[in-house]
Amino acid sequence: MSTAAGSTGNATARAETKLRVFFDADVLIAGSASRTHSSASYILLQLAELTLIEGLICPYVREEVERNLGRKLPQALPVFKALLQAALREAPDPPKASLRRWAGRADPKDLPVLAAAVLNGCRYLVTFNTKDYPDPPEPLEVVKPGELVRRVKEHLAELSGLSS
């Protein structure tokens, strides 16, 4: 992520308070295929586009989304590509050798997702399949989209001084 030259300390403080969220493929598929703009998956992608949260993925996730949308919902593929460009930052896939470190903390097919979230300092991994991540390392939390929308609302209220 690039920063503008001459940015102030306030900009740095804001960046540090922005929630870093790693998106699992199922949430991206749901958000891209959403027929309503009120689905939690779509809302999270909009929050990332507005830079209220920092949305991350890795090539492993992008390829899974493209493969599944291409096969099952090809009409949603252009929406995903637009969201990818506007709302998400693609971090590198984790090194294969690092995956052993996370064995037992996620379903084997989801180890690259867990590792990428951890290695990129994400606070949240958002997925509908929370059971696939039974033991995420702290401080990473694995949450469903609706729960994360609630937490983001609370976080933004705290930042604005509106929380009770």
Tens-place pLDDT, residues 39-96: 999 999 999 999 999 999 999 999 999 999 999 999 999 999 999 999 999 999 999 9
Which two tokens mark 157?
């209220």
Split at pLDDT 50, 70, 90, the class of 13 is very low
Task: Give the domains, in start order, of the chain with CATH numbers.
Answer: 18-160 (3.40.50.1010)
The one-letter amino acid at 1: M
* Residue 4 reports pLDDT greater than 60: no
DSSP 107: -
| Neighbouring-strand partners of residue 55 | 21, 88
Residue 15, φ and ψ in degrees, nearest 5:
-65, -35
pLDDT at 163: 62
pLDDT at 164: 55
* Residue 1 reports pLDDT greater than 70: no
CB-based contacts of 76-82 (< 8 A; 24+ apart in sequence): 76/29, 76/32, 76/33, 77/32, 79/32, 79/33, 80/28, 80/29, 80/32
